[in-house]
Each structure stands twice: as structure tokens, then as C-alpha cells.
């Protein structure tokens, strides 16, 4: 016995290479790509989306792994959260591994992908602040060939995905530098971020890069706070900071992300969010420098 009347068998294509996938999308402009389906199928099931056809990306093995290219890691868009959470990946890009481990329950991590997380561009997408802090770029495959752009351009909609284009790879510079990702959900079980912070201490460029997720539609970079704290670090020495400096950094980041509105008192929810961002940023910096 089945619950629902069988849906008219949707037109599903399962290409086994990127080229085939791009061709399939060119053939059927109304088709929608689907990777793990953890975002897409929720919209389909609730009736928000009725795709005329689907192009499944799950069989494209070239985007399910990663490779090295000139001091960077080239991550396939089809990497699952579960794969990114494993120790070998964590040794490579610890902050992204931490984000992946915190993304939803195990069932979701087994199916959900990096590409889907970026394409969905949800404010609570856990990979997004990490990619912003690492200054990653995305490689898009389309009918007119590949192009590469900073992930922030894609997320902010400055340079969106064009029709027929697929997210193929994510390029992340390999920094031999401490990086952290911290997420607050308000609960112990898996949950969407109330706020998250990704932070990199990059001695090569003498930079601290910090990105705050979930408090705005896209990850926020508190550039002034980054520069201020980078100026306090003795890059040639111990690279430690006094606890007060970490606390001040946290406050700085929080105030930048949840600014005061002139003339009005911050509502209690905003005060709590600011407190949370401050604690996360302080902890993230403390751990990166530890």
C-alpha cells in the first residue's frame, strides 16, 4: 500500500560526468540540479517547487572528492558533509571539517553536499562563513566553459549562478595556519546556527580573518576588527594575546555585526545575539591562538 498517489515519474537524468551534466541542463533549461536533495526535496515535498525535470549530480565522481592544485585544495561540489567531517579532511581544512560535523543530524550529513550548501545560500549554511574567512573561490561549469569567482560574489548575488551553470569545485588556499569554526544553536542536539564564527589566523599575510554566519543573509566580515586585532599580534614572536584583547575583539566583532541603531535601544533578542557573537568570536580567536 502506498501513501500517496504515485507522482508522475519526474524526468530524472543521472549524468556521470560534469560535461554530461552541463549538456543535460542545456538540453532541458527547465531542469533543476539536485545533489543530496536535503534542501531541494523539502521544497518539493511541501509543494513550493515542482521541478519539470531533475539532473542528479550524485554519480559524477569527479566532484565527489578533492585534489591539490598549486597550494590550494580543489574540493568537488559533491563532497558530503560526512566526508568533510572525517579526520583526513579535518587535517587539511579544520574549520570546514568542524562546520561539516555540525551541519544537521547524521542522515543529513551523509547526503547533504558542499555544493548544495553554497547554492542554497541559506543564512544558516554552516560552510559559508568558513569559505568567506578562507577567501575561497568557486569554479562554475557552464555551457560556455568554466569560470572562477570569489565565493562572496556568488553569495551576495553580485555575480550569481547563470542559467545552465553548475557549481563544480571550490578552491581553498591551503594555509598552514590555525583556523576555527564555532557555532551556537542554543541546544545540544543538532540545530541550525543562531550564530557562527569562522576565524583564520594567517601568518603568511599577517592577517586575522573572521566571518560571522547566520546573523545576516550572507556571512559578514568585520574587517576593522580583523585589522585591529592583527595589529596587536606579535607576528614574529609568540603570537599570543592577552585575554582582555580577545574579549575586546569579541565585542568589536559583535558590535560590527549587530550595530547599534541610533536613538533606539537594542531589543533583548539583539542583545543576546550580540553577546553570543562576542563569546563565539572571543573563543574562536582564543582557540586559534592557543
Give the nearest distance from C-beta 139 to other proteins in angstroms. Answer: 28
Name which of 111 and 199 has its Cβ closer to ligand FAD: 111
Of 153-161, 165-173, 222-230, 267-275, the segment contacting other proteins by CB under 8 A is 267-275
User: CA neighbours within 13 Å on the CB side: how many for 63?
Assistant: 29
Residue 43 contacts other proteins per CB under 8 A: no
> Which residues sit opposite 167 in a β-bridge?
140
Residue 2 contacts other proteins per CB under 8 A: yes
Q: What nine digits make up the cell of 37?
A: 536533495
Name which of 182 and 241 has its Cβ closer to other proteins: 182
Helix orientation angle between 243-257 and 223-232, rounded to the nearest 10 degrees:
170
Give the nearest distance from C-beta 275 to ligand FAD in angstroms. Answer: 22
Out of other proteins, ligand FAD, none, which partner does residue 58 contact, by CB within 5 to 8 A per kind? none
Closest Cα partner for 109 from 95, 121, 97, 120? 97
- DSSP string spanning 38-71? TTHHHHHHTTS---SEEEE-TT-GGGSSEEEETT
Q: CA triplet 81, 85, 91: central angle to 5 degrees?
A: 135
Q: Which of 46, 163, 236, 262 binds other proteins (CB under 8 A)?
A: 46
Binding site for other proteins (CB under 8 A): 1-5, 46-47, 98, 101-102, 105, 182-192, 194, 197, 268-269, 271-272, 275-276, 279-280, 283
Amino acid at each position: 500500500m502506498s501513501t500517496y498517489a504515485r507522482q508522475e515519474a519526474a524526468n530524472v537524468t543521472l549524468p556521470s560526468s560534469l560535461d554530461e551534466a552541463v549538456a543535460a541542463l542545456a538540453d532541458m533549461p527547465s531542469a533543476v540540479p539536485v545533489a543530496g536533495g536535503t534542501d531541494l526535496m523539502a521544497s518539493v515535498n511541501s509543494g513550493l517547487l515542482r521541478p519539470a525535470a531533475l539532473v542528479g549530480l550524485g554519480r559524477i565522481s569527479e566532484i565527489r572528492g578533492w585534489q591539490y592544485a598549486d597550494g590550494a585544495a580543489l574540493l568537488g561540489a559533491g563532497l558530503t558533509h560526512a566526508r568533510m567531517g572525517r579526520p583526513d579532511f579535518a587535517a587539511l581544512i579544520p574549520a570546514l571539517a568542524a562546520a561539516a560535523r555540525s551541519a544537521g543530524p547524521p542522515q543529513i550529513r551523509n547526503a547533504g553536499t558542499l555544493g548544495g550548501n553554497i547554492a542554497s545560500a541559506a543564512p544558516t549554511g554552516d560552510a559559508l562563513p568558513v569559505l568567506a574567512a578562507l577567501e575561497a573561490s568557486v569554479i562554475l561549469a557552464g555551457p560556455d566553459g568554466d569560470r572562477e569567482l570569489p565565493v562572496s560574489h556568488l553569495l551576495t548575488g553580485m555575480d550569481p549562478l547563470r542559467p545552465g551553470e553548475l557549481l563544480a569545485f571550490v578552491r581553498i588556499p591551503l594555509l598552514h595556519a590555525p583556523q576555527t569554526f564555532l557555532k551556537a544553536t542554543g541546544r545540544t542536539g543538532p540545530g541550525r546556527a543562531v550564530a557562527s564564527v569562522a576565524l583564520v589566523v594567517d601568518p603568511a599575510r599577517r592577517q586575522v580573518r573572521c566571518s560571522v554566519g547566520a546573523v545576516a543573509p550572507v556571512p559578514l566580515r568585520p574587517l576593522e576588527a580583523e585589522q585591529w586585532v592583527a595589529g596587536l599580534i606579535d607576528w614574529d614572536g609568540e603570537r599570543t594575546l592577552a585575554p582582555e584583547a580577545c574579549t575586546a575583539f569579541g565585542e568589536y566583532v559583535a558590535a560590527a555585526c549587530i550595530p547599534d541603531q541610533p536613538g533606539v535601544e537594542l531589543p533583548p533578542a539583539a542583545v543576546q545575539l550580540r553577546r553570543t557573537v562576542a563569546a563565539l568570536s572571543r573563543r574562536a580567536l582564543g582557540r586559534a591562538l592557543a
